[in-house]
Amino acid sequence: MNAVHTVWLGRQPLRLDDLVTIAERPDAIDVRLAPETSERLQAKRALVDQLSDEARPVYGVTTGFGALAQTRIPAPARRALQHALVRSHAAGMGAPLPRPFVRAMMLARANSLAQGYSGVRPVVIEQLLALLRHDIIPYVPRYGSLGASGDLAPLAHIALCLTGEGWILGPDNTPQPTAPALIAHGIEPLALEAKEGLALVNGTDGMAALLALACAAARRLFKTADVACAMSVEALFGTDRPFAPEIQALRPHPGALASAANIRRLLANSDIVRSHRDSPHLVQDAYSLRCHAQVAGAARDTLTFAEDVLGRELGAAVDNPVILDDGRVESTGNFHGEPLAFAADFLSIAVAEIGAIAERRIDRLLDPTRSQGLPAFLTPEPGVNSGLMIAHYTAAALAAECRRLAQPASVESLPTSAMQEDHVSMGWNAALKLHEALDCCTRILAVEVLAATYGQVFRRPLEPAAGTGAVAQLVLDHVPPPGPDLFLAPILATVEELVREGAVLAAAERAIGPLA
């Protein structure tokens, strides 16, 4: 078991890998607020306390919110204002977000507040970290954010739990009251002071968290796509020549270079490829084989762009208003999610194309007129049996769904709050649909891995390469080999799980070492 290491908020930038690890394995990292950060927060907090006692208008401190910004709040009501804000904004609907999504949101918000520009007391951040430490996960409904003014509704559901109100996720993912969980762990409900309710909800941390987890999933998936392609190249008697370094160097996009290098290593010393290297059976392979590195490489470069955007966001202070180092209080537009929305939309396009080119290889594997001697639909007795015929239908349906999900959410602004918030990013929706696209693409690659494994079986006694052969053996250890038709859905579900959990990628990497 890996040793637990400590992340000090405010002392060091929050790394994408740490955010993802805490979301998925919360016991792996201990997150704490750095002592020197607490001192900075206290100094900024003193300024907010001073402002909250004054008569001059300061948004969200002595005034209402959104379209109610012109409404002055009397001094005795300014603490109640913060609790009222959180209660009213916790207005989400729909099924709850998965636990890793919420953990990532909580850490991302704590990290942003720790930058020291929101004017909250250290105890606010400590309360977020306490819930994380005890794995008390707020119940955050799926719908409610427009991706501007921050992810208001989702973050308000988290903020409400800090005060002992609202819902947490029960063991069966049903809503349960928060207060008993806090009592059970000895956590005092948080009494919000001036501006703290606003600071808890006015951030892009929902979008950022969802995008972070999507980037991690995409990184694994794009490597798996290289594995699936290499298996299909073998099964279809394709060539490894287009992936040669001297060919790729003529057009040196970083992602394409990495993808091509992966496929070269995956196909190294393949008896199947060697058996027809000098055969004139094909002048050149179809695009879905020959151009994989260019398509997957473009997707990888898109992922790099998204990760760069995310890296900047994780080092940012996202709030409105902000308390500057010189003591000024200024309204900002930094809560607008457009950078994250664009990145999520762009990555959805990349994911759709990974699925699209994989679907084309599946079709080729199943068609006896184009599969270089493989039986129709990869069944030993086509006609009596249909083999993987309808598995391709499923892959095609998933590819069509990926295309639908590739339509940008970020151009669908709807004005709200009596036209005060008249342009929004829809970045939350962009991030949600990105996760749906990743799910669809995972399933497409599962169908390809199964089909390519069966293709390898029909190429025996020729042996595959070490990397591709290890994956085929993994699959055959879990599902039956090609034969008479069986109930196919459980077989597809099994291979899907092997792809989703990283077992397919791990099998290849155990055989040939880490892929780029």
Q: Where in the chain is the domain with CATH 1.20.200.10?
A: 211-512
Rg (CA), the chain: 26
Instruction: Please list, in sequence order, all residues whose beta carbon lies within 8 angstroms of the beta carbon of residue 58, skipping any fewer than 6 positions away.
Output: 51, 52, 321, 329
Alpha-carbon span 494 to 94, nearest angstrom: 29
Question: Tell me, what DSSP letter sits at residue 19?
Answer: H
Fold type of domain 5-203: Fumarase C; Chain B, domain 1 (1.10.275)
Count of CA atoms in the C-beta half-sphere (13 A) of 85: 31
Check residue 206 and give its pLDDT: 97
Q: Which residue has the tokens 């209660």?
A: 87
The b/e string for 243-263 (b: 16+ C-beta within 10 A; e otherwise) is beeeebeeeeeebbbbbbbbb
Q: How crowded is residue 509: how many other Cβ atoms within 10 Å of its Cβ?
A: 16
For 58, how many CA atoms within 13 A lie in the half-sphere containing its CB?
24
Say if residues 386 and 301 touch (Cβ distance below 8 Å). Answer: no
pLDDT at res. 299: 98
**Counting beta carbons within 10 angstroms of the beta carbon of residue 432, is it exposed (0 to 12), middle (13 to 18) or buried (19 or more)?**
buried
Beta-carbon contacts of residue 42 (< 8 Å; ≥ 6 apart): 121, 122
Summarised one tens digit per residue, pLDDT across range 45-63 is 998 888 777 777 877 777 7
DSSP 316: S
pLDDT at position 1: 44
Q: What is the pLDDT of residue 282?
A: 64
Neighbours of 159 (CB within 10 A): 31
Long-range CB contacts for residues 60-63, cutoff 8 Å, separation at least 24? 60/85, 60/195, 60/198, 60/202, 60/320, 60/321, 61/194, 61/195, 61/198, 61/321, 61/329
Enumerate the CATH 1.10.275.10 domain ranges in the chain, comma separated. Answer: 5-203
Q: Can you give the pLDDT at residue 223?
A: 98
Contact 230, 263 (CB under 8 A): yes
Give CA–CA dist 279/283, Å, rounded. Answer: 9
Is the Cα dihedral 424, 71, 56, 115 positive or negative? negative
pLDDT digit string, tens, across residues 301-337: 999 999 999 999 999 999 988 999 888 888 889 999 9
Low-confidence ranges of the chain (pLDDT < 50): 1
Strands 5-9 and 29-33: parallel
Nearest to 495 by CA among 440, 458, 438, 451: 451
In the prediction, which pLDDT does 189 show?
98
Q: Which residues are catalytic?
A: 59
Phi/psi at 335 (nearest 5 deg)?
Answer: -80, -5
The pLDDT, as a whole number, for residue 78 is 80
Give φ, ψ of 277 to 5 degrees.
-60, -35
Regarding the domain with residue range 211-512, which homologous superfamily does it belong to in the CATH classification?
A: Fumarase/aspartase (Central domain) (1.20.200.10)
